[in-house]
Structure 1
Amino acid sequence: MQVAKASISGIILLTLIFALNTKFGAVPPLGKFFDPDAGFWANAETSTPESQELNIPGLQDEVRVYFDERNVPHIYAENEHDLFMAQGYIVARDRLFQMEMQTYDAAGRLAEVVGPALINRDLNTRRLGMVYGAEKAFEEIRKDPEMLAAVQAYADGVNAWIDQLSPAEYPLEYKVLNFTPEKWHAAKTAYLLKNMTRMLAGRHNDVRTSNTIQYFGEDFVEKYFTQKPELNDPIIPPSREWDFEANVPEKPDSLFVPSVSKVIDPFPHQEGIGSNNWVVSGDKTASGYPILANDPHLGLTLPSIWYEMQLSAPGYNSYGVTLQGSPAIIIGFNEQTAWGTTNVGSDVMDWYEIQFRDETKQQYWHDGQWKPTTSRIEEVKVRGGETVLDTVIYTHHGPVFEVDPAVGEGEPVYHALKWIAHEPSNDLRTFYQFNKMANYEDYEEAVSHYTAPAQNFVFADTAGDIGLWVSGKLPRKWEFQGRTVSDGTDPRYDWQGWIPSEQNPHIKNPERGFVSSANQESAAPDYPYYLDDDFAPYERGRRINDLLTEMEDITPQDMQRMQMDNFAYNASTIIPEMIAWTNSDELSDKEMEVLDMMRDWDFMMEAELIQPTVYLTWRNRFYRAVFDDEYNATDASLRYPSRDIFVEVIKEDPEMTFMDDINTPEIESVEDIVTRTFKEVVTSLVDYYGEDLENWKWGYDIDNDLNHIANIPGFGAQNLFSSGAAEAVNAVRGTHGPSWRMVVELGPEVKGWGVYPGGQSGNPGSPNYDDMVEDWRTGELFGLNFLREEPEEYEYILKLSGSEG
């Protein structure tokens, strides 16, 4: 009996030891996780770190890193090698897990860390050619000794941090997911930058537009996609004259009609969320010097996509935010200039219908002959599972996808992807030169090196110059080339080289006294090259320009308030009409109460108001009621009109054909649809929030969340009571919004203000993990502590040297 008891106890003990050291699904090995010395307890930070002197092998001279009260590092080095090596070391110290996850994602390696749940995302990443593009980008970086040295020094710094870590010191997420950091290779910087291209230039409407033409005809496409709203206000104003001879390719006599197919859209994008930037000249400011403002709108996560810091070395002194994994400051300023960015949204992702010779897919028809394909074997390792091998076929266009037919069970359809992310690129060169530029000529030269994702770079300097360049490699196309699926057999549909960079839309010191962009159309119709037909709605850009036109004696505080402007331009153009179309005789007392409140609304998307909740729910339901009956009549993926052109069309023709519901015997009028949807909205809000209108406030409905970068529960900040909207300058909605708000006043002493939603540290156990969230939510900006010389006062300092002693 004693032997049996001992055996059972031994089995239980061994089972417990195994269980405590084994990862089950998303649950980490509990023994390791709760270990008081090496588990999650070891990540708690309860006090300010103490100053230290550390040996970092590979440094050439001593580096001093001063940390201010917000834990922002100010790095002082004696040379650029040490500057970038120290940057890599410090960023890895605060954001190592984030750095790794971003590049694992870009390389299609998430399943390797997380497990089978992310196999499909990895396969989509590989099939899009992300790895292929990153390899070509790194080849281009290797041709530039200065940039190669920078990314290698940065990598050495990251590895110096990793090398000195013990398992107890691993960031908390490594313990949750139970894996260890790997060595950082310089090529990972190329993966990071390609991931930005996927995020900002990885969208298309080719298939949807092709299907829409076949279902609704070319007149529909002309009205809703070619025609621009009267309120459209392009980035480069119509007053700009173009003094070059454009070389526009010849358009085919007739447009290719592709198969009706479903959309390849593995990483869908949210419509209407974008970015803002603007610069006002000294003629419009109280100081007499330019003021620059920028708030790029990206996914909101904890930790933030950005990391704030200052980099200083002989001939180099810049401040701003950087991407984890890249040397230099990406958005910021130096002692003479400032720069900011928004996404262009040009059409740089085109799909081509491919004709293979046979099922082996070894040859495809192009330009009157059979041409050989190539192939890549993508190896996706899977944690806890077998490695997946995926063969990706490439034509000269790019990787090939098999696309499901939208109707019936037809023959397989094959689309090849031509994408700017596959082009060799050395975009880091542009940002490196931004960090050191002194004037407009330096800025102009820096943007000439930029490839993708195309950006609207704004600029200001202490001499008083302001400017904006639409920067990036932009394909030279005939009008509307690529907005539908292209003929992969016809070379006239190939990209015909590139618009010369000096012919990209740009402007310097315009008469109106400001430049601005908010992802809207790049230039007026007289710009000779075709860029796209699917830019952001005009609302934010128009509001910014309206405000700046009227403003004088502008201060940095005016710019900060403008970044928080919550005016809903779309609401101001459609809600008065919708109220007028509503048949009040059919409304209940509750519904009349809500409608009366809508009449009194000033169109501000303020958290404390209920009208924004009613407006967006009503507008969206009305929009879908107009189109969904026709759109849902087919399995084909169709392109919906943007909200701004829809408003213009419906106001001009409220009894348009689409107003009638084809699923009912009656002929519905606009009054019928608007009244019905309003009643549905009130009913749905009562059901969800209750009768008390206080519970309908926009701050509750906006659903503003800062999720953890790996979606680990408890590591994010949920349900922020926020103002703003996708169509407002303060473009907050859901998990998207201003990822970095910055205002810079140029002058004899450049001054900056900024904030992002989060904190410097990526450690959930640090007081600096989310310490700026509330300031970001309320629109408060911190004064940026831009140092001209090494400080005497600081919170703590790290002295880094490359030798002992």
Structure 2
Amino acid sequence: MEKLKKVFLIVITLLLLVVIGIVIFIITLKPNYSGEQELKNLKSAVSVYYDTYGIPHIYGESETDAFRTLGYVHAQDRLWQMELLRRIGPGRLSEVFGKDMIPTDKFLISLGIDEASEKTAASLDENSETIRLTRAYLEGVNSFIENGPTPVEFYLTGIEKTPFVVKDVYNTIGYMAFSFAMAHKTDPLLTNIKEKLGSEYLKDLEVNADPSLTTIANYPKNDFILKNTISEIAFQALKKLPVPMFEGSNSWVLSPEKTKNGKVIFANDPHIGFSQPSVWYEAHVSTPTYEKYGYHLAGVPFPLLGHDRNLAYGLTMFENDDIDFYYEEEHPTDKTKYSYKGAWKTYETVTKTIKVKDADAVAFTYKKTIHGPVLNGIADQIVGDKPIAMSWVYTRVENKTLNAFNSIVHANALNDFKKALAGIHAPGLNIMYGDAKGNIAWFATAKLYQMPDSINTKFVLEGSSGAQEPLRYLDFEENPHAINPPWNYVYSANNQPDSILGKIYPGYYLPENRAKRITQLLAPKNDWDKDAVSKMITDVTSAINPSVVRNLINEIDVSALSENQKQLIHQLKEWQGEATLENVETTMYHRWIYFFMKNTFSDELSEEQFTAFLGTHFFKRTIAPMAEKRESIWWDDIGTPEKETKKVMVNKSFQQAYAALEKSLGEDTQYWTWNKVHSIEHPHPIGQVEALRNFFNVGPFEVNGTREVINNLSFAYTEDGLYKVLSGPSTRRIIDFSDVENSISILPTGQSGNMLSNHYQDQAKMYVNGEFRKMMMNKEEITATAESVLIFKPL
């Protein structure tokens, strides 16, 4: 018995030692926010003050030292995120996540991002300020890789840390450019509808832009002409991408005439897929010659969103077209050749090898034409004998984006700022601007191109003749923009810009819903302040949904309704479009819309095509017009001998929606509240493993808001009627130049991507509640209230 006790004590002691060892090991993986740290190549010491939310305020004697320090502190909070983002362009995700990522890697490799990055990196001006600061930033990142603790994700996935190089920065920019590109969600779908069903079925789809909708007005007016709009393509390989996609955004800037204090107020909330960590890393960098409070993409030294005491800038998606698809004519007997302008050209053949975790490497080969990579054999959705090639502006034009953002962050006034924008060729961005002198502006930045007037690029084009090629690239001055317009505000909600000489700029514009609400709120009010703008940026009322509901109610056969159903119809008639947690009407609206659109379109489309359709912008653009139309070819169910009408579809859909909600939420309609079906969770790639979900993911939380309101929390329509938010405001920022040091912001989860940090999710509940925190810029206040201080000294 005594021996058993001793053995038991020894076992317990050993287990305790193991547990203590594990705890000590885990503690060593936490970010270090205080003390002293040596850093190679520093010329003088740099002080980093961390505020209450873990945001670094970096004070250095030179920009080079400050950017080098920024690289280190950015990496210690976001190295795992940096690692994933730099792997997108070269298609190296299978090395981390295994064979399921092979189709995604194949597609990403074929885009040519990595090749374009390598070409750009090989031709850099090493003496330029852009590259000097970029290399300093990367030296800081690599110093952390060499000397700092390894994030736990590297242990769990078994990948090694390796140094970052300039090409990685360009690959990350390339990921952002493709993430913005919407062409992969619609073109093949529309082409298939046209070829299989006939062009008559396209008439009721919102394929072309509508100048009668709420548009972003140009000012001053231009006299330039562009081609017709084009749309999108669904590409399933990107569904498994373990990083967020850029989705949309809101921004508005108010001139002094519109504000209570007579100074510009700037608001911006870029909409991006939710993830953990969230996309942006905040950092305040200050030197004797430079200061910026900025939001950084992981691995990119210059902030894509930022402000100082002189000016503020932000972005939304322009939604322009920068991808075209071409049918290639292949030689009838020699599959190595294709036709172009009357001559047979030889395909360029590219062979790549994908390393795969826990499996053999995979070699694959794809072909390229003068237009770009041939997607057959790469994209599973591209089927048939006709080769389809993809032409993308990002890889066809010299990449000056990094230089452009360096110039943006160093601009001190409107003219310098505007000059910098011409270097952004892709992704297409609406750049919003406001400054302390009272200037406001909106610029659509992208390398736009003109097509022949007869070409409708919403469909796959004909590649062999050479007659459906871009005629020219436009000068930046021809892009849509507005500078200090007389209506005293500028805005963007991913809606279409105004026309120029009767032609609409090409793009994948979102419906007018958010734009209409923004202009409804901004136009009549001339005493805006920071508090009023903060309420507006969290607004959850739709300017369109109530009219959609009323158009549907006009078709309802009231005699077929129960008393409970009649009561619900009455509530819907009175509904003002708000999507709050306790709202019932929003729940019924989305269930009804789902069944209405499913009954309308799914009989003509395959299940895969209907699912693809649900994921497009033009689906969102179709909802309101279809609810308003009296006649449509789509309402006839081709599976029945009868000819169905709108009334049949509306009533059938209402009954289906009602029955589905009754089954899932009970018979009492007053319990069908929005909070029961609408939630947000911020997924971490490791959180896909169920046992680790609670450790890495943040949430879920009940949340108000919905699709295409200002507080745009987007979700996919699914059969189960549960609305799991996929994307939304990646930050909410409000800069008031009457009190710039008390400007406010919020992140969806927290500043750090290290799960052991106190700042991993310390803003999550604030975000859901629509709360804000200060973006501190006053050095005295920062040093007096800092949570910790980390001093970097020359090595």
- TM-score under structure 2 length normalisation: 0.88
SS for the counterpart of 1:324 is coil
What is the match of residue 255 of structure 1?
none
Q: How far, CA to CA, are the matches of 2:246 and 2:791 in structure 1?
A: 46
Residue type of the alignment partner of 2:401: D
1:768 maps to 2:795: no
Amino acid at match of 2:495: Q
- What residue in structure 1 maps to residue 268 of structure 2? 294
Deviates more, 1:451-460 or 1:693-702: 693-702
Cα 1:132/1:361, change in 2 over 3 Å: farther
Cα 1:481–1:63, aligned 2, differ >3 Å: closer, same or farther? farther
Q: Map Cα deviations across residues 243-298 of structure 1 (whole Å, 9 max, x no partner).
A: 45x5x68x9xxxxxxxxxx9655326999952100101000101111111000000
Name the counterpart of 2:46. 63
Secondary structure at the counterpart of residue 493 of structure 1: coil
Q: How has the CA–CA distance of structure 1 residues 182 and 545 changed in structure 2, closer, same or farther, with 3 Å as cutoff?
A: same
Whether 2:705 is the aligned partner of 1:724: answer yes
Provide Cα deviations, 1:32-64, integer angstroms capped at 9, x if missing partner: 99951665465468xxx6631221112222211
For residues 780 and 446 of structure 2, the distance between their equivalents in structure 1, rounded to whole angstroms, comes to 35
Question: 2:206 aligns to what SS in structure 1?
Answer: helix
Contact 2:374 2:387 in 1 (8 A): yes
- Note if 1:225 corresponds to 2:206: yes
Do structure 1's residue 387 and structure 2's residue 361 form an aligned pair? yes
> For 1:703, which of 673, 679, 682 is the aligned residue?
679
Which whole-Å deviations, capped at 9, do the CAs of 1:294-333 have from their partners, x for residues lacking one? 0000011111111111011232100031111010221120
Amino acid at match of 1:348: D
Q: Are 1:474 and 1:499, in contact at CA under 8 Å, matched by a contact in 2? A: yes
Which one of the candidate residues 372, 375, 385 is aligned to 1:412?
385
1:127 aligned to 2:123? no
Question: CA deviation digits over 1:538-557, x for unaligned, max 9?
Answer: 11111111111011110011
Q: Distance in 2 between matches of 1:785 and 1:272?
A: 27
Deviations 1:720-779 (A, max 9, x none): 211111110110131211001001112485542100111111121222100001111111
Q: 1:201 aligns with which of 181, 184, 193?
A: 181
Q: How far apart, CA to CA, are the structure 2 residues paired with 1:174 and 1:784?
A: 32
Pairing partner for 1:396 from 352, 364, 370: 370
Aligned partners of 2:586 and 2:548: how far apart in 1? 13
The answer as to whether partners of 1:162 and 1:181 remain within 8 angstroms in 2 is: yes
**Does 2:657 match 1:666?**
no
| Residue 88 of structure 2 is aligned to residue 113 of structure 1 | no
- For residues 198-347 of structure 1, the aligned pairs below 5 Å read 198-204=178-184, 205-225=186-206, 228-229=209-210, 232-237=213-218, 240-243=220-223, 246=225, 265-267=236-238, 274-347=248-321
Q: Distance in 2 between matches of 1:345 and 1:300?
A: 20
- Residues 106 and 129 from structure 1, CA distance in 2 versus in 1: closer, same or farther, beyond 3 angstroms? same
Match of 1:680 in 2: 656
In structure 2, how many angstroms separate the alpha carbons of the residues matched to 1:41 and 1:62? Answer: 27
1:628 corresponds to: 602
Cα distance in 1, alignment partners of residues 759 and 379 from structure 2 = 51
Mapped pair 1:801 → 2:793: yes
Aligned to 2:425: 451
Query: Given the alignment, which residue of 69, 73, 89 partners 2:72?
Result: 89
Q: CA RMSD in A?
A: 3.1
SS in 1 for 2:356: coil
Which residue matches 2:409?
435
- Give SS of 2:586's match: helix
Moved more, 423-432 or 679-688: 423-432
State the shift of 1:564 in Å. 0.9
Picking from 141, 145, 152, the partner of 1:162 is: 145
Given that 1:364 and 1:373 are in contact with CA atoms closer than 8 Å, whether structure 2 keeps it comes out as yes
Amino acid corresponding to residue 42 of structure 2 in structure 1: L
1:531 aligns with 2:511: no
How far did 1:692 drift? Answer: 4.6
| Matched residue, 1:99 | 82
Contact 1:286 1:553 in 2 (8 A): yes
Task: Give the C-alpha shift of residue 636 in structure 1.
Answer: 10
Q: Distance in 2 between matches of 1:405 and 1:292?
A: 41
Equivalent residue pairs, number: 751
Match of 1:150 in 2: 133
Q: Percent identity?
A: 26
Contact conserved, 1:84 with 1:153, CA < 8 A, in 2?
yes
Query: Which of 171, 175, 190 is the aligned partner of 1:191?
Result: 171
The one-letter code matched in structure 1 to 2:162 is E
- List per-residue Cα deviations over 1:79-112 (Å, max 9, x = no partner): 2221211111000011111111121233211111
Q: Distance in 1 between matches of 2:379 and 2:735?
A: 52
Amino acid at match of 1:591: Q
CA distance in 2 between partners of 1:717 and 1:800 (Å):
32
Q: Is the 8 A contact 2:201 2:633 kept in 1?
A: no
3-state secondary structure, aligned to 1:507: strand
Q: Which residue of 1 aligns with 2:4?
A: none
3-state SS of 1:432 partner: helix
Matches within 5 A, 1:544-693: 544-632=518-606, 642-653=619-630, 655-693=631-669
What secondary structure sits across from 2:286 in the alignment? strand
- Aligned residue in 2 for 1:757: 748
Q: How far apart in 2 are the matches of 1:498 and 1:99?
A: 33
| Contact preservation (8 Å) 1:451, 1:471 | yes
Paired AA for residue 389 in structure 2: A
CA contact (8 A) 1:402 1:414 kept: yes
Gaps of 5+ in 1: 1-19, 21-30, 252-261
Q: Tell me, in whole angstroms, the C-alpha distance in 1 between the residues paired with 2:571 and 2:498.
A: 39
Which stretch of structure 1 is more off in the superposition, 56-65 or 188-197? Answer: 56-65
Aligned residue for 1:328, secondary structure, equals coil
Please state whether the residue corresponding to 2:450 is helix, strand or coil. Answer: coil
Structure 2, unpaired ranges of 5+: 1-14, 715-724
* Secondary structure class of the residue paired with 1:315: coil
Q: What secondary structure does 1:473 align onto?
A: coil
Q: Are positions 1:521 and 2:499 aligned together?
A: no
Q: CA deviation at 1:232?
A: 1.1
Change (3 A) 1:775 1:749: closer
Measured after TM superposition, the shift of residue 216 of structure 1 is 4.5
SS at match of 2:205: helix
Instruction: Report the Cα distance in structure 1 between the residues aligned to 2:212 and 2:503, rounded to whole angstroms.
Output: 21
Q: Give the deviation of 1:666 after TM superposition.
A: 3.0
C-alpha contact 2:324 2:460 (8 A) present in aligned 1: yes
Structure-2 separation of matches of 1:405 and 1:340? 34
Conserved 8 A contact 1:300-1:737: yes
Residue identity matched to 1:183: P
Maintained 8 Å contact 1:343/1:519:
yes
Paired residues of 1:476 and 1:529 also in contact (CA < 8 A): no
Retained in 1: the 8 A contact 2:596–2:649?
A: yes
Residues 360, 266 of structure 1: alpha-carbon distance in 2 compared, 3 angstrom cutoff = farther
Query: 1:386: how far off?
Result: 1.2
- Local SS of the residue matching 1:400: coil
Alpha carbons of structure 1 residues 222 and 607: separation in structure 2 relative to 1, 3 Å? same
How far is 1:633 from its partner? Answer: 9.9
Q: CA deviation at 1:418?
A: 0.5
1:77 is aligned to 60
Aligned to 1:13: none
**In the alignment, is the contact (CA less than 8 A) between 1:276 and 1:518 conserved in 2?**
yes
